[in-house]
Each structure stands twice: as structure tokens, then as C-alpha cells.
Structure 1
Amino acid sequence: MSDERYEIRGKIGQGGVGAVYRAYDTQLRREVAIKRVLAVEGDDSHNADLATKNLLKEATALSSVQHPHICTVYDAGIDKDGPFVVMELINGKTLDEMVERGTLTYDDFREVAIQSQEAMIAAQDLDLVHRDLKPSNVMVCWLPSGRFQVKIVDFGLAKFSAKPSLQTIDHGDAVFGSIFFMAPEQFERVPLDRRTDMYALGCMYYYSLAGTYPFNGDSAPQVMAGHLQNSVQPLQELRPDLPSWVCAWVMWHIARNMDDRPESARVALEKFINDETTAAQHGGVMPHRSGPQLVIPTTSPQLITPTVTSTKVNTQTAPQAIIPPGGHTAFTSSQAIRPATVVTGGTAIQPARPAVTVSPTITPAATITPAATTPPAAVNPATNVVAAQPTVTPPVFPGLTPAKKGLSSTHKILIYSGLGVAIVILCWILLSRNSSNSETDRFNALMIQVEDLRARDLPTTKDDLTLLLDSLADDTISNRNAIFQRIVISKPEGSYSIDKLVLDYATSAGMAEEDCKNLSIVIGKRGDQGAVKGLLKWAIKNPDHPATQIAIDGANKTIEEDNFLSFISILGATETPGVKSSAEKALKNVISNSRNKKNLANQLVGAFDGSIDDNYKLAMIRLLGNTGSEAAKKTISESLSSDNTNERIAAATAFGAWPNDEPFDTLLDAFESEDTIVVKTGVFKSAISLLSSERKHDNDELGNRWLTLSAYATTNSQKSKIISEAVKANADWSSPVLKFFTGKDHDDRIQTHAAKGLDKIKD
């Protein structure tokens, strides 16, 4: 890059492998943004070459797409400092910055949707897949006219491909892109195409309208599981003010299966326009065609580079119109109707819009009622309180005794009403006692049935089961185990599901932890897979609850691959050691019995890439060893040369669980170069495991590998272990290995041990 042409004026931002600078083009006299690859420390030329390739690929991709809604590339090349790309400096804010102040109004969303779809139509016409669409990669800028414009930036992950391609991996083997907007196929490491971008657009639209991610979680594994299980709350529930067809259009984009999404941006945009027109014809919402009119911003230009989107999003703010930086008033088509006005001082021209004529409602005059003969009570105008009328006392004549009065009608009504209420209360008490006695008798009858140890499939009505479950709320009930046993041996009498009802009680907020744990055991014993899956789904949200380990153990008995992602999610979310152990054991069990280990390995690699928790990543490494896939081998090999001691130990353990002895040479290389004793011990132990009789071997090479490993043994413990394995195997290679240890290069204890081993296999 010529230093005479571009003057660097400061750094804008920095990512994993690149930095972006603000610069001035002295030839064309304009501000630009320059993106460079960061200097790579050490001799990591592979990483530098990969970063250079990706940067120049971005330049090629962007320069091939000339569109008003895509960031423009001006120049690219390589100089003494490495590769660089010169692009337009965008004046505006990212879409996620807009959403932070409030979710989008309908009219502003319409503009964002149409403009972003138009941008992707241009890209898809050139078979370009972006693969990293997210709000932080969508800029909102303002034109001189005052209208806002959407621009898609950062095609660093884009790739020209008319055929499906695989997800790009960086030098840390981490999947690029934000996990909240990644399609399921990006975690599964299957070929990607334009429908992957449609999914990301859908997640972005959902976020801009709801203020929350469609697939959220407290950890990366939970988010990934949300994508893969498509557990998303319908947008209509969060934004009931929007037309239903708009919500359905957004949800169409985030379908789990690629075939269920829009085939392309062109198809999606056509449906949006068609649905909008149809809705308008039937009296629905019809946006104004002029588009939003905004004030020209006064802030300085800025280029936003890709960043990890914050997981904390404001979900409570009401929809807000898009307003440019600076806090000026902006007019959009969703705001109050005003006549066309020409203004100055940077204010946009508000287009004239037809006023809505409201017909006045005619209310008939109230009927005037003649005044009553009784004079009305006086009203105090200051307090609006009716003044009391004077009481008229009848005259008393001397010599006459006043007659005794009977009860007035009012008193009689009050007395009769009181008696009626008392009778009702008495009846309710009597009925309640009878009902309570009846429930007690029924409860005791149900408990007596448990005494018959041979009882199975006892018919139980929904009312009976509810009675049993409700009794758990009574702290005075002592025979709780009998209640659980009675539920286990029940069968439904009538059209209801025992397992669903038990699941509802077990996962209810008011259920005591111990009762929840026991009900989880009941669900496991009954073996209904629907209830087990429901319990696992609850366990993902309650990873440290005592019942979570029971849920894992119950699901582990069936060894279903459908539960694999649930186990991954729980393992990533829990802090309880017992739950972690059970989840890892369950995952290993599923892998061992799976016929599609490659797919499971891809899911584990995706979980490993998407996590920042060290312990979780170590578990993923250990589990990968059971899959025997190429993707697993690559990840484990890189971990074996990591700077992290624990990661190297986990990698050695993983190779020790490999289905065959293929990684043997890799382990020997690691053993020879390792300086840390604990890691070196783990590597040697794994090498012995690989050569054991439980693995698949090339018998012609097995003897040579045992002799090679024997030569690498440096401690008496390692030598004794090999001798024991040779005696136990009693194979063709056993004698040569034992004779090797009878040599004078070993101390007396090892020579004696080996000699006894030879005698034993001869006998």
C-alpha cells in the first residue's frame, strides 16, 4: 500500500485476526477504511497465510458485488506490511445499536427487511454466501435526503460457491460468526448454501422486532441446543401488535430444516410483497411507499467491525422508530401524520400523506325527566356532598301511649339473609367434611393396593392420580415411598396420560426438591420416552437441581441419539460435579452405541468451538476420542500440542479411547516432546490402551508397536505395565516383549518380573 496515497488517521477496531483503520485517500480526497491482517507472533506461517487468504477473499467478494446496500471495496493489495483492503467508511450505526433503544416499528422493519433482502439477492446472483449475517454486520446510515439506508458489511467469511460448502474454521478451529445467529448446519459441519444466510436473516429480524434472541441461553451449549432443537417462542406472542403474516414470514426463515426455509432472498422478498398486498386488500396494514424520512446525522463517520453480540438485550422497551445519531427529531412513516412541509437546518422533508377522515358519531340528547315532588337534597358545590335533610318528629299528645312498632321490612330482610348465609356455610362445612372423608377413604384404598407386591398395571383414574400427587404437598404424609410406588404400577383409566401428569407435577415450581427427585425416578421407571424427554428439557433450565442427575440416568437407559444434544446442554450449564459426570457418561454411552459417530463428532466439535468454559471444552475433547472421526482427530491433535497442560492431558485421554490404534505414532511423538511429567504419564498410559486387546489392530504391526513402546518406557512402572499386558494377552508378540525386558539394561526387579512372565505363558 502506498504510504503517499493513504494517510492512516487512527484505529477503528480490531478483531481476531485483523484490524481496521480510518484513513484518508489523498488522490481521491475522501475518507476510507483500511483493513489489515494482524501480525502473527512466532513462526505460525500457516495462520498468517490463512488470514491473508480470507482477507483477500473478502476483497474479491465485495468488489464483485456492486450494490447500494453492500459495503463497497475501493482497492486491495499486498505491501511490505502484508495484505490490505480499502473500503468505504460508513457513516452510521449498527442495527444492534438501534435495537438497544427499542425494538423496530413496523414501517422501519419493512425498510430493513426489503433493503437487506435486496442486498442478498445481488450476492446470491453471484453464488455468494455471507455466512456471518448478524445485527453488528448490518449498518444503518443516513443519506443526504434524510432517508436511512441499510448496508451489509464484513464479507470476510463469504465464499463464492455455486455448490454447498463447509463452514470456515480459523486457526483455533473455532467456528466464525456469532452463535446467536448461526444456522444449525453450521454447528453440524454440513455443507452450507444460501439458505444458511436466510436463517441468519430470520434470526436478525426476530431480534430487531422482539428485542431478544430467538435462541438464547446462559451458555454457548444451551444456545447451540436451541438452534439444533428449534426451541423458539413464536414471534407473534412477543409482538401481538404486528400483522400475523409478518411474524409468520420471519419464522419461515428460521425453520430447523433447510428445505423448509426460503430458497433464496428473491423468493423471500416476493412473498413479503405478495403477503403485504394481500393483507392490504383485506383491510390489513399497508405501509407507505415513501419509506422512512430521517434527519441528516451530524456525527463523524465510523466503520463498525464484526463483534460478538451482547447477550443482554432490552426486551421491555416498546417499538421505537429509527433515529439517527445526535438526538434530532426524525420523521418516519410510522409517526404522526403531518402535511407536507419544506424545512431547513438539516431536517428531512416529510412527505404528504393522506389524512384519515373520521366520521363524527351523533349521540341523541338525553331524555329530560320531570322533577319529583320530593325536594332534592342540597348539594354542596364545594365538596359535591349531599347535605342531610332535617328529621321530622311526629307530635306526642298527652295521655296517649305510643303503639309498639313491629320489625321493619329492612330488618326482616337482614335477618333472613343472615340465616341464609349461615345455612349455606353450615352446608359447605358438612359437604367439605364428607368430601374430606371420602378422599381419605379413597387415598387409603389406593395405598392398600401397594401392599400386594405382585400388583401391576393398576387402573387409575385421573382424579385418583391427582389425589396421590396432591398428597405430596402434605408434610404430615409419612408413607411417601408407597405413593411413588403406587404411581409406578398405575395404568390410565380413561383418556389421559399418567406420565404427562406426573411430569407436570415434577417440574412445577412449588414441588419440593426431594419429591421432584422421586417423581423423576418414577418417570424413569415407567420408561415413557416423551416424559423422559420433557424431563430432560426441564433439566436443561435447572442443571443443578437434584432431579437433573436422575433425569440423565433415566434417559441414559434408552441410549437414544435424540437425547445427545440435551446431555451436551446440561453438561455445559451445570456446576454440580455429579451431574457433569452423569452427563459425560451418558454422552459416551450414546457415542459407543451409535451408527453415526461422524455426525455426533461434528456436534461435539461445534460445542467445543462455541464454548469459552475450559472444563466444558476438556469434556468435549475426552468425548471426541470415542468417535474415531477425522474431525475429532484434528481437534484432539491440536489440543495435544496446546500450551494448556489440562488440555494436553484431556487429548491424551481422548486418544486412549480411540476405537483403533491409528493415533499410536501421534502419541509417541507427543511422549517424546513432552516435558511435563503428569502429561507424559498420561500419554504413555493412552498408548498402552491403544495397543490393548480391546482395540482393532493391524496384527502384522501390533508386535512391532509393542516393542517400540517398550523401548520408550523409562520408569519401572511403565515397564511393569507392559509386562503385565504381555502376560495377559499371551499373544504372538508377548514372548519378544518379555525377552526384551530380561536384558541387562533393566534393573533386577524388571528382569525377574519379565522372566516370571515368560514362564507363565510357556505353562
Structure 2
Amino acid sequence: MTDERYEIRGKIGQGGVGAVYRAYDTQLRREVAIKRVLTEGGYEDAETATKNLLKEATALSSVQHPHICTVYDAGMDKEGPYVVMELINGKTLDEMVERGTLTYEDFREVAIQSQEAMIAAQDLDLVHRDLKPSNVMVCWLPSGRFQVKLVDFGLAKFSAQPSLQTIDHGDAVFGSIFFMAPEQFERTPLDRRTDMYSLGAMYYFALAGTYPFNGDTAPQVMASHLQNTVQPLHEVRPDLPKWLCDWVMWHISRNMDDRPESARVALEKFISDEASAKNEGAASPAPSSGPQLVIPQTSTQAATVAAGTRLETGTAPQPITPPAGGRSITASQSVRPAAAGGNPLTGATAIQPASAAKPTTHSHPVTSTATAASHTTPAAAPQAAKGSFFSKMSNTTKIVLASVIGAAIIIFGILIISRLSANNETEVFNKLVKQIEDPTAKDIPTSEEELDILLKSLADLKNKDRHAVLLRLQVAKAVDNSFNPDRKILSYATTDAISDTTRENLFQILSRRQNTDVISDLLAYAADHVDQGSSRVAIEAAAKNPKDDDFRSYLNILRISENSQVTKTAEKALQSVISNSYNKTTLTDQLLSTVDQILDESKRLSVIRLLGATGTERARRKIETSLKSDEDGLRIAAAAGYADWPNDQPFDALITAIESEQVPQVRRSMFNSAFELLTADHSHGSPSEAELKWMTISSIAQTDSDKLRIISHLVNANAPYSTKTLEAFTNDRHNETVKDRALRALDKLKNR
């Protein structure tokens, strides 16, 4: 790089191994970004640094797409390798989320543009491997629309076939731990589905404002990913369409086979689901024509509002807005002026200009209109009336005309009364919604009439106060004993007149209200609508309060449902009941009496897995018999059942089965179960007993991925048995990759 062409004008940022500078290209007269490897070294040698930086240039230069950062030049000079790239003036996605989670409209653009970028990359068999909010830039076009660009392909790899995760000099995994896929921790082969998982975690973060997989320490975050411990997005953002939340959760499935196969598949499903929702009348949130609570805009969208209203930014959804003075347009919408009235309580508005807007008032005064009887007739009127048209009418005609006028007056009066009633209802609605501005509010006294007003407002799927209404329903408490709010909400939720989205929202509210009296009704609804999506949500709501008495109902739903999502949810609910039960023997009897009656193989395997969670002797005998079955699927299910066992009792049986297993897929399932059993949060015996178990499982590990997985755990655990077990991987039985990793792990333990 010649000093004459590029003028360095300052440092933009710095990472662990490189720095990015703002520069000016004197030949093409444009600002650019220049990326260099740090001279003090983030890599172990300059050759590796050069290789990785130039690899990024190769990756980016191979993809020409408006949503991927463009590479202009690359080379080597006396200071080392460099890459000249497009300079993007904007903010990272995580900076956007700091001021508030994304609205539906803005998220739609982020999702579509990022998926389109990944389609271009995947068409070249390019796996990014480090997708996270800080690698997504948001910038603004002159038209006012915002544009998303993916950056930092430093870890990208061209790979038509799955490839292993790179390990850095500190024995850590490249990439951000909050957005990494489970296979990146397990050192198993990566492919495009790894990027889909990271995209999903990033989408969840953008909509929820929290990491989907969290923890106080790195091992806890890793465990959260590996165990798929995540709160469903629709519980965090009930104001969003259910199909959208499911689409995001699809990306972050634990198993790679359960995720979108590619960005193209994911984008096609997004567009298809959105179109289906619109056809069903459950489209994306949009400005409501119904009553709304007017609240202040954010700092970039100042508005005149009624005193006392406020919005907690940073938690409520906020539109993506350009720098001060700029105008913005959501790419998916037509250009229109900012709607008067500001944001509703959710803050979920389309991207609009930052100019101030005056709030509208929904309680309109009724304009008084004088009737003919109130006018004063001039003195000359009687003369004018002589011989008039009215005087020539027959009596019958006069009676008919008088009747028509009378009816018109009555109808007009009814309209006025209805208008006054509507205005009063609007005032009540605004008062009710305003009550939950205080985030600590709970058990707010609510009359039956007020509850009816709140429920009725949910019929409008485009009402942007939906989130506020749902929150208000969550804290409603009857003013007296004349009615039961939970029963009333349940009754409204199970009527055929409402949409599935509203029904599912109300089921979620019932689960948060934690009234166990409605659980049996929720399960009855789930059983009657067993193959519908709302059945799954009803089961989830009931399972928030797992009870032994409901075990048979969940088991019946699992047995009769043909919907795979419903059966999975029922199985999860059954596991929750088992883990909270003090009478696992009775639950075991119910499972054993059901397993032989089920003809569907997948459901029979589910029951076998559930038996493992009970930890009873009868369950152990059934699983051990299944572990010796001639059916591959039954042996896999038995191994999965042992993985959930509450102690290490089945470990020896699993090891014996692994040593004699001839089918690779079954053997791997057995090995995974044995590994999960040893890493579970329960006692593993004395230090010597634990060491023996780890030495045993290490001795039967066949693949490099299994060996590296064990080594990673031993380093993170830093247990008394770690050193001796790691030393077993340094002998000549293992290849250079495994030996090198084990030696570096031992060095790391010594330095702790």
C-alpha cells in the first residue's frame, strides 16, 4: 500500500487481532476503511495473521451484494497485510438495540436484508461462522431508507462440505459466545445451518433485548446453548405475530436438522408465513384506527403529549431512525407523513420522520345540532305558508311524513347516544391502559365491564395497543367476588370468533396469572383441538404449573395428536411434571401402561425417553430391555432415556452397550448420552469414582470430535480428575490435532 494513494485519517476500532482505520483514497477520491493485523500480535505468528486477513479479503471479494461489505483492494507492504474495504457510516445492530428492541416493521427489513446477504454467501458455499449484532451495520441511504450490511468475514470459510470450528491461540473458540451454535462448542463439523442458528440468536436479541442463551459465566452460556435453555420469544414479545416468533425460534433449534437448511429456505418461509397471516387477517402490527393511548415519542421523535405519560425506552420496541435531521422510510412501506398521535404504549411504530407531531384525541366531542323545532319563525312566515305545498298535503301524507321525521329523530338520537357511549368507552380504555405505565403495578382492581372493554379491543389485530392490553389483563384483579377474571379470559379465548393469534396471546396471559383453576380447562381445549397450533400454546400455558394430577391428560394428548409440534410440547410438559413430582413411581406406572398401547414408533420412543426422567427401578428395567432391542430406534430412545437419569446409575450399562454396538448412528447416540450423564448437574461419586468414569469414556471415544469435546469439558471443569484424563490424550494412540489440543489444555490448567 503506497502512502501516496491512501491517507490514514484515524482509527475506527480495534479487535483482538486487528484494527480498522478510516482512510482516504486519493486516486478514486473516496473514503475507505483499511483493516490491518496488529503489530503487537493477536495471533501466534505473522504467517497465520496474514493468511486469515487475506482469507477475509478473498471471502468478501467473492461476494458482490448490496448487503455485504465490499472489498476494494488487498495486498502486502512493509507493515504487513492490509485490506481496503467500503467505509460504512452507520451504527451496529447492537447499538440500535441499546435504545430499544426493534418494531415489527424494522425487524422485517433487517431479517429480509440479512437473509438475502446470506443467500449470496451460501450460493458460494461460504460459511460466515461469526454472525452477531456487532457484525451487522445499519446505514441510511439518501432516500431515507435504512440498509443492512454484513461485515467481518474474518472467520469465513469456503466449504461445500461441513468443516470443523477453528481454535485460537488461547484454547477458546472464535466468535461471540452468545450467538454461537452448539456445534461450535462441540468442535463438530459446521455448515450453513450454523450461520442460521447465529442469525436466529441475533434476531431474538433484536426483538427481545436480551440474549436467548445467557449465563453469568462462559461455561453457563455454553451449557445454555447445549441444553437449548431459552424462553420462547412469543412469551417475551406477545405483541408480535406468533408465526414470526416461531420463525425466529426455528433458527435456534438445538439440532442442526431442525433448523432452516439455508437462508433461501428461511426467507421463503418468512414470506410465505407473512402472506398466509395476511390472508387470515392476522397480518403484521399496523397503526390502529381504534382507541389508542397517546404517549411521548423518543428523544429523536419529540411530540406534544398529555402530561404524565411516558415510555421506558430500552425495553419497549423502538423504530430505527437516522441521525438527527435525517428522514427515514421503512423499505417495506410507502412513503407517508408521520401519523399524528405519536407512539402507542408498545412504541411499535413504522420508521417515520423525526419531526414533532401533535397527538390526536380519540374522545371527540359531539357537535350539537339544532333541530327545526328550535328555530324562531319570522312574523311573515304565516303569510308565506298560505297555499304552500304542505297545506295541500292530504292528512294521510302528513301522518306518513311526520312518522318518517319522527323515526329520523329517534335514529339520530340513538346515533348520538352511541357516539357518547363510544367516547366514554374510549376514555375508559385509555385509563385502563395508562394504569400499567408503572412497571411495578400488579393486582389492579378491574370491574367486569372494564375487562370486557379490554378483551373486545383485542379483536382488532392491527391495534398497536395490543401489548399494553395484554399486560393490563395480566395484572387485572376483580373489584369484588361477582366474577372470576381468569374464567372470563378463558371463556373469551376459547370462542370461535377470535383469531388464533389472539387466542394464543390470551393463553399466555393465563399462564402468567398462574391460576391453577383453569389448567384442566386449558388441557381440555388442547385435547379437543389437538392438531391445531393453539393446542400447543394451551399446553405450554398449563405446564407453567406442572402437577401430577394433569400427567394423564398430557400423556393422552401425546398419544392422540398427529401434530409433531403438539406432541413435542406435550412431551416437554410431561418431563416438567416428572421433574417436579414427589411420586415418580405412580408416574412410571402410567407411562408403562401406555407404552405398549402406542403403535406410532416416534411416540413410543418419547415414552421410553420419559421413563428415564423418573429414575425408578421399573423404568430402569424397561429401558435396559429396550437398550438390547433389535430395533435401532428403540436402542436410540433407550440411550436418550438414560441421558435424563437423575444419577450416574446407568453409566456402566451405556458403556457396555457402546462397546458392542455395530451401528454408527446408534453408537453415537449412546456415547452422547453417556457424556451428558457425566456432565449433568448431579453427584458423580467420589473424586476417584468420577476419574474412573472419565477415563472410561475417554478410552472408548473414537472420533476426533468426541475426543475434543471431552478435552473442552475437562478444561472448563478444572476438576481433580481433569489432569490425569487429559494426559491420556497425549500418547501416540491419538493424532496430532488431539495431542496438541490436550497439551495446550494441560498448560492452561497449570497456569490457573
Residue 2, structure 1, aligned to residue 6, structure 2:
no
Once the two structures are superposed, residues 317-359 of structure 1 have per-residue CA deviations (whole angstroms, 9 ceiling, x without a partner) of 1111112344978665899996589xxxxx9599xxxx9x999
**Structure 1 CA distance, aligned partners of 2:155 and 2:34?**
17
Q: Deviations over 1:414-457 (max 9, x none)?
A: xxxxxxxxxxxxxxxxxxxxxxxxxxxxxxxxxxxxxxxxxxxx
Counterpart residue identity of residue 140, structure 2? W
Separation in 2 of the partners of 1:607 and 1:39? Answer: 33
Aligned twin of 1:624: 726
SS in 2 for 1:151: strand
Change (3 A) 1:570 1:634: farther
Task: Tell me the SS of whatever aligns to 1:492.
Answer: helix
Find the aligned partners of 1:36 and 1:134 in 2 and give their Cα distance: 21
| Alignment-derived partner of residue 230 in structure 1 | 228
Task: Report what 2:586 is aligned to.
Answer: 492
1:207 matched residue in structure 2 = 205
Asked if the contact 2:70–2:86 (Cα under 8 Å) also holds between the matched residues in 1, the reply is yes
Contact 1:570/1:583 (8 A) holds in 2: no
Question: SS in structure 1 opposite 2:675?
Answer: helix
Report the CA distance shift for 1:219/1:599 in structure 2 as closer, same or farther (over 3 A): same
Aligned to 1:13: 13
Instruction: Give identity over the alignment, percent.
Output: 62
Please, what TM-score do these two structures have when normalized by structure 1?
0.51
**2:159 paired residue number:** 161
C-alpha separation between the residues in 2 aligned to 1:225 and 1:128? 28
Conserved 8 A contact 1:488-1:525: no
Aligned pairs for 1:321-470 (under 5 A) are 321-326=319-324, 339=337, 365=417
Q: In structure 1, the residue corresponding to 2:718 is in which secondary structure?
A: helix
What secondary structure does 1:245 align onto?
A: helix
Alignment-mate amino acid for residue 281 of structure 2: G
Deviation digits for residues 527-583 of structure 1 (CA, Å, limit 9, x no counterpart): 9679x9xxxxxxxxxxxxxxxxx9666676776852634754759xxxx9x999599
Deviation of 1:492 (Å)? 3.1
Q: Is the CA contact (8 Å cut-off) linking 1:564 and 1:590 kept in structure 2?
A: no
User: Which gives a bigger RCO, structure 1 or 2 (Cα 8 Å, sep 6+)?
Assistant: 1
Pair 1:604-2:710 in alignment: yes
Distance 1:283 1:493 in 2: 43
Task: Give unmatched runs, 5+ long, in structure 1.
Answer: 289-294, 298-313, 342-346, 367-461, 464-486, 499-521, 533-549, 651-763
Q: Is the 1:105–1:334 Cα contact (8 Å) retained in structure 2?
A: no
Q: Which runs of 5+ in 2 are unaligned?
A: 287-297, 301-311, 340-351, 367-411, 419-547, 550-580, 593-612, 624-644, 655-669
Corresponding residue SS for 2:45 = helix
Question: 1:635 and 2:635 equivalent?
Answer: no
Distance in 1 (CA, whole Å) between partners of 2:337 and 2:583 is 75
Instruction: Kindly state the Cα deviation for residue 268 of structure 1 after the two structures are TM-superposed.
Output: 1.0
> Residues 585 and 614 of structure 2 are in contact (CA less than 8 Å); yes or no, is this contact kept in structure 1?
no
SS at match of 2:35: strand
SS in 2 for 1:27: coil
**TM superposition shift of 1:210:** 1.5
Q: Aligned to 1:255, what secondary structure does the other structure show?
A: coil
2:126 and 2:158 in contact (8 A); partners too: yes
Could you tell me which residue of structure 1 aligns to residue 91 of structure 2?
93
Q: Distance in 2 between matches of 1:583 and 1:101?
A: 51
- Give the one of 123, 128, 143 matched to 2:126: 128
Partner of 2:37: 37
Q: Secondary structure, in 3 states, of the residue corresponding to 2:85? A: strand
How far the C-alpha of 1:267 sits from its partner, in A, is: 1.2
Distance 1:86 1:594 in 2: 49
**Is 2:658 aligned against 1:564?**
no
- Stretch of structure 1 that moved more, 315-324 or 274-283: 315-324
CA separation of 1:599 and 1:61: change in aligned 2, threshold 3 A:
closer
Change (3 A) 1:493 1:107: closer
The aligned residue for residue 255 of structure 1 is 253
Work out the number of aligned pairs and report it. 447
Equivalent AA in structure 2 for residue 90 of structure 1: I
1:175-324 alignment runs, 5 A limit = 175-286=173-284, 317-324=315-322
How big is the shift at 1:222? 2.2
CA distance in 2: counterparts of 1:17 and 1:608, whole angstroms: 27
Distance 2:724 2:16 in 1: 27
Could you tell me whether the CA contact under 8 Å between 1:163 and 1:193 is conserved in 2?
Answer: yes
User: In structure 2, how many angstroms separate the alpha carbons of the residues matched to 1:285 and 1:584?
Assistant: 55
Instruction: Tell me the SS of whatever aligns to 1:86.
Output: strand
Residue deviations 1:201-221, cap 9 Å, x none?
Answer: 111111111122222222222
Tell me if the contact between 1:109 and 1:209 (Cα under 8 Å) persists in the aligned partners: yes
Q: Is the 8 A contact 1:591 1:597 kept in 2?
A: no
Distance 1:279 1:590, change over 3 A: farther
C-alpha RMSD of the superposition = 4.8
**Partner Cα distance (1:198, 1:583) in 2:** 40
- Quote the Cα distance in structure 1 between the aligned partners of 2:31 and 2:63: 21
CA distance in 2, matches of 1:104, 1:645: 43
Aligned-partner SS, 2:113: helix
Go from structure 1 to structure 2 and tell me whether the alpha carbon gap of 1:621 and 1:31 turns closer, same or farther (over 3 Å shift): farther
Q: 1:624 is aligned with what amino acid?
A: L
Code of the aligned partner of 2:750:
N
Q: Which amino acid aligns with 2:16?
A: G
| CA 13–281 in structure 1, closer or farther in 2 if over 3 Å, else same | same
TM-score (norm. length: structure 2) = 0.51
- The aligned residue for residue 76 of structure 1 is 74
Q: Shift of residue 595 of structure 1? A: 5.1
Counterpart Cα distance in 2 of 1:111 and 1:489? 51
Please list the CA deviations of residues 501-534 of structure 1 after superposition, one character each: whole Å capped at 9, or x if unmatched: xxxxxxxxxxxxxxxxxxxxx987869679x9xx
* Match 2:54 to one of 53, 56, 62: 56
State the distance in 2 between where 1:19 and 1:583 align: 49
Q: Structure 2: which amino acid aligns with 1:259? A: D
Query: 1:246–1:580: structure 2 CA closer, same or farther, 3 Å change rule?
Result: farther
Per-residue deviation, 1:77: 0.1
Partners of 1:50 and 1:618 in 2: CA distance: 35
- Alpha-carbon separation, structure 2, partners of 1:77 and 1:337: 44
Decide whether the 8 Å contact of 1:69 with 1:119 is kept in 2.
yes
| 8 Å CA contact 1:61, 1:159 repeated in 2 | yes
Task: Report if the CA contact (8 A) 1:117-1:265 is conserved.
Answer: yes
Alpha-carbon distance in structure 2 between the residues aligned to 1:579 and 1:170: 34
Letter in 2 for 1:216: N
Give the match's secondary structure for 1:144.
coil
Native 8 Å contact 1:140 1:149 kept in 2: yes
Report the residue type matching 2:228 in the other structure.
N
Distance 1:589 1:358, change over 3 A: farther
1:209-250 alpha-carbon deviations (Å, 9 max, x no partner): 112222222222222222222232221121111111111111
Residue type matched to 2:586 in 1? P
SS of 1:10's partner is strand
Q: Using the alignment, how far apart are the partners of 1:276 and 1:358 within structure 2?
A: 34
Question: What is the CA-CA distance between 1:598 and the residue it aligns to?
Answer: 4.2
Q: Give the distance between the partners of 1:146 and 1:36, measured in 2 at CA.
A: 33
| Cα drift, residue 56 of structure 1 | 0.2
Q: What is the rounded CA distance, in whole Å, between the counterparts of 1:349 and 1:318 in structure 2?
A: 18
Distance 1:90 1:195, change over 3 A: same
Inter-partner Cα distance in structure 2 for 1:363 and 1:527: 72
- Residues in 2 aligned to 1:16 and 1:634: alpha-carbon distance in whole angstroms: 23
Decide which of 103, 106, 130 is 2:104's aligned counterpart: 106
The aligned residue for residue 503 of structure 2 is none
CA drift of 1:620 comes to 5.3
Matching residue's letter, 1:242: L
Q: Which has the larger radius of gyration?
A: 1
The 3-state SS of whatever aligns with 1:23 is strand
Deviates more, 1:109-118 or 1:236-245: 236-245
Shift of 1:7: 1.5
- The separation in 2 between residues aligned to 1:238 and 1:269, in whole angstroms, is 23
Alignment of 1:497-512 (within 5 A): none
Residues 556/73 of structure 1: CA separation in 2 closer, same or farther (3 Å cut): same
